[in-house]
Amino acid sequence: MKKGNIFKRIFLFYYEGFKNMTVGKKLWTIIIIKLFIMFVILKIFFFRDFLDEKFETDNEKGDYVIEQLTNPKNINND
Amino acid sequence: MIEHIDSALVDWSRAQFALTALYHWLFVPLTLGITFIIAFMETLYVKTGDPEWKKITKFWMTLFGINFAIGVSTGIILEFEFGTNWSNYSWFVGDIFGAPLAIEGIMAFFMESTFIAIMFFGWNKVSKKFHLLSTWLVAIGSNLSALWILIANGWMQSPVGMHFNPDTARNEMLDFLEVFLSPVGINKFLHTITSSYVLASVFVIGVSAWFLLKGREQLLAKRSIIIAAVFGLVSSLFLIYTGDGSAYQVAQKQPMKLAAMEGLYEGSEGAGLILLGMPTPGKEINDGQDDYVFKFEIPKLLSFLGYRNADAFVPGVKDIVEGGFEYEDKNGEIQIALSAMEKIEMGKLAINALSSYKKAKKVDDVVIQEESLIIFRENFKYFGYGFLNDPKSIIPNVPITFYSFHIMVALGFYFILIFALVLVFVFKGKLSNKKWLLRLAIITVPLAFIASLSGWIVAEVGRQPWTIQDLLPTVASVSQIDASAVQITFWLFTLVFTALLIAELKIMFKQIKIGPKEGGH
């Protein structure tokens, strides 16, 4: 690789690497689809943070969890 | 309110987490082990300059790339689940999990974006030695990445180095080194990575055996078999050592898990290790039935392995529920074990004291606050028991734990036999003629995954009902969400992960059929 701007060299390193891939292209397609499903579909629509959604501050979250933990009377755990 | 949580929500949340973790673990161990095998091969290439070693290295690197690409980020789902389905747990563990997982995330990101790129794209672009260094760093980095996850898991099995803050309901790290150097976590890490080396060795031998059966790539196959069998054999010996260390830790910290692993209901002095056996189906404590339908055991070995004393008393399930037996605590003093009922009562005292403390704090009653905190701290050790009502609910699923443990151990010794046999025949130059052994080596590949998954089933099913040993039971860890929402994501994951697995197998098989070739990956 020719010496030159470090950022350009890094860019070209990755660019040429991806360009010359054989089996890798199919894999990258799978990776991108997978990441899309995980971070766009699953995270946004199915996996919102339960406490973040309900409460704004850490104090509120802590109070809620303590309330949960100190009222365990009728848990069906037998 | 927590009292509305039904068992369906807990069961579906557990099923979902188990499904995600087990699928994730299908990809991880091969990555952990094969990277070292590739590093050995490339080292030989750099040392000898033999282009055949380069060809061999690149072939296995391509298979590693397939596994890595399909498996990467599947673990992220587990973190999503912590926030959504296990919010009480996530909040309760506080920064104990945050620190190791953050280190793991940063380490994985830098390793994956730099050294893996050099490993795959850097042939002919960086020097041979720098490329080799990158390959070694990928191997070491991926294993270190696993270290942080397993330290976090080890803390759940044996929580140390923290202080519970009653104002925030979170555990706060007091001593990073105590968490990091926890014997449970360290043993778990060493046992897990060595088992992954064995799995990867079995994989390399299996694929190479297929080439030999087909009469193809003889040199690649034989060289790969030598590297993998030696690595597998050495790793197996270390695996036995780390397995012993893990079992010792289980005996000290999670005696109920040990009892379940061995199907031991009635404890005894000089307890034997079950070599082969069948626990009595439907067995319960004090039901008058024998522990086993049949068993072959090595006398006194369980006592020796668990307590380093062939005559030591190993408590069974019944003993742990009923208490009353003598044991040595961490200071070497003899103590009488409490019954589960006594621990439940202490747990309830801790929960009530926490509740009183919070109420007293609201009205600024300092005296009640201090009194409550004293009671809370005295009983916090058994906080999790306060969520239970029936002493028998501390018993995990004994048959699943027993069979998973014995399958794992039996397969571990079987792999040693396979490694030894292929090494003997490859050095004698007769391996290509031993068709039965080659076929056996191929069949052994899925068995290595079964052994690896069985290990995790022992670790996680065996520690039920706890998410954090003695401090938080699974039933109190879940978020109050609709069970049907968990069901939907369970089936969604089943679909996505099965698709990924099929993709992996399809691409992997195709690439193996193509075999090694010059050029890119």
In angstroms, the CA B200 to CA B234 distance is: 13
Is residue A52 in a domain?
yes
In angstroms, the CA B447 to CA B414 distance is: 10
Structural domain including A16 reads 6-69
Contact B322, B352 (CB under 8 A): no
Is residue A11 in a domain?
yes
> Per-domain residue ranges for chain B?
263-335, 340-391
Chain A contact present for B351, CB below 8 A: yes
pLDDT for the residue numbered A77: 46
Q: 3-class SS at B372?
A: helix
Burial status of residue A49 (CB atoms within 10 A of its CB: 0-12, 13-18, 19 or more): middle
Tally the residues of chain B: 521
Q: How confident is the model at residue B105 (pLDDT cuts 50, 70, 90)?
A: confident
CA B444, B442, B199, B501 torsion-angle sign: negative
In angstroms, the CA B164 to CA B510 distance is: 53
pLDDT for the residue numbered A37: 82
Q: Which of B103-112, B269-278, B331-340, B438-447 has the lowest mean pLDDT?
A: B103-112
CA distances from B125 to A3, A25, A65, B207, B330 (A): 12, 20, 54, 30, 56
Instruction: Locate A8 and state its tokens.
Output: 């350009």
Determine the Cα angle at B329 with ends B324 and B333, to 5°: 90
In angstroms, the CA B340 to CA B325 distance is: 13
Q: How confident is the model at residue B202 (pLDDT cuts 50, 70, 90)?
A: very high
**Which residues of A are less than 8 Å from B465 in CB distance?**
77
pLDDT higher than 60, residue B520: no
- Residues β-bridged to residue A77: none
Residue-averaged pLDDT of chain B: 91
> How many domains is chain A partitioned into structurally?
1
Chain A contact present for B114, CB below 8 A: no
Chain A contact present for B473, CB below 8 A: yes
**Which residues of B are less than 8 Å from A20 in CB distance?**
121, 519-520
Compute φ and ψ for B475, nearest 5 degrees.
-65, -25
Query: What residue of A is the nearest CA neighbor of B78?
Result: A47
pLDDT higher than 80, residue B501: yes
pLDDT higher than 60, residue A2: no
pLDDT for the residue numbered B521: 59
pLDDT for the residue numbered B5: 53
Average pLDDT over residues B412-437: 95
* ipTM higher than threshold 0.85: no
Render pLDDT for B166-201 as a digit per residue (tens, 0 to 9).
999 899 988 989 988 999 999 999 999 999 999 999
Q: How confident is the model at residue B519 (pLDDT cuts 50, 70, 90)?
A: low
Interstrand relation of B472-473 and B466-468 (parallel, antiparallel or unpaired): antiparallel
Mutate to test the interface with B, among A69, A71, A74, A76 (most CBs of B within 10 A): A69
Q: Which amino acid is at B173?
A: M
Q: Residue B489 and residue A74: Cβ atoms within 8 Å? A: no
**Strand ranges (E), B201-308:** 268-269, 273-279, 292-298
Count Cα neighbours of B288 within 13 Å in the Cβ-side half-sphere. Answer: 0
Render pLDDT for B363-408 as a digit per residue (tens, 0 to 9).
988 999 999 999 999 999 999 999 999 999 999 999 999 999 999 9
Identify the DSSP state of B334. Answer: E
**Strand ranges (E), B264-372:** 268-269, 273-279, 292-298, 313-314, 326-328, 334-336
Q: Residue B69 and residue A30: Cβ atoms within 8 Å? A: yes
Interstrand relation of B334-336 and B466-468 (parallel, antiparallel or unpaired): unpaired
Q: How confident is the model at residue A74 (pLDDT cuts 50, 70, 90)?
A: very low
Task: Give A5 to chain B, closest Cα distance, Å.
Answer: 16
Residue with tokens 């949340």: B13
Identify the DSSP state of B466. Answer: E
Q: Residue A48 and residue B84: Cβ atoms within 8 Å? A: yes
In what helix (H) or strand (E) does residue B95 lie, and over which residues does it extend?
A: helix B95-110
In angstroms, the CA B30 to CA B61 distance is: 12
Q: How confident is the model at residue B1 (pLDDT cuts 50, 70, 90)?
A: very low
Cis omega (within 30 of 0) for bond into B315: no
Q: Residue B88 and residue A69: Cβ atoms within 8 Å? A: yes
Mutate to test the interface with B, among A1, A68, A73, A78 (most CBs of B within 10 A): A68
In angstroms, the CA B62 to CA B42 distance is: 13
Instruction: Locate B219 and state its tokens.
Output: 């040199």
Task: Give B509 to chain A, closest Cα distance, Å.
Answer: 12
Query: What residue of A is the nearest CA neighbor of B520?
Result: A21
In angstroms, the CA B360 to CA B62 distance is: 63
Distance of CA B500 to the CA centre of its chain: 22
Identify the DSSP state of B363. Answer: T
Instruction: Locate B156 and state its tokens.
Output: 């759940």
Identify the DSSP state of B349. Answer: H
Average pLDDT over residues B127-135: 94
Query: What residue of B is the nearest CA neighbor of A18?
Result: B121
Query: What residue of B is the nearest CA neighbor of A75?
Result: B3
pLDDT for the residue numbered B306: 92
Q: How confident is the model at residue B73 (pLDDT cuts 50, 70, 90)?
A: confident
Tally the residues of chain A: 78
In angstroms, the CA B342 to CA B381 distance is: 12
In angstroms, the CA B37 to CA A32 distance is: 28
Identify the DSSP state of B337. Answer: P
Selecting from B1, B91, B519 the residue whose C-beta is nearest the C-beta of A61 gives B91
Q: Residue A72 and residue B65: Cβ atoms within 8 Å? A: no
What number of other Cβ atoms are within 10 A of residue A5's Cβ? Answer: 9
pLDDT higher than 90, residue B316: yes
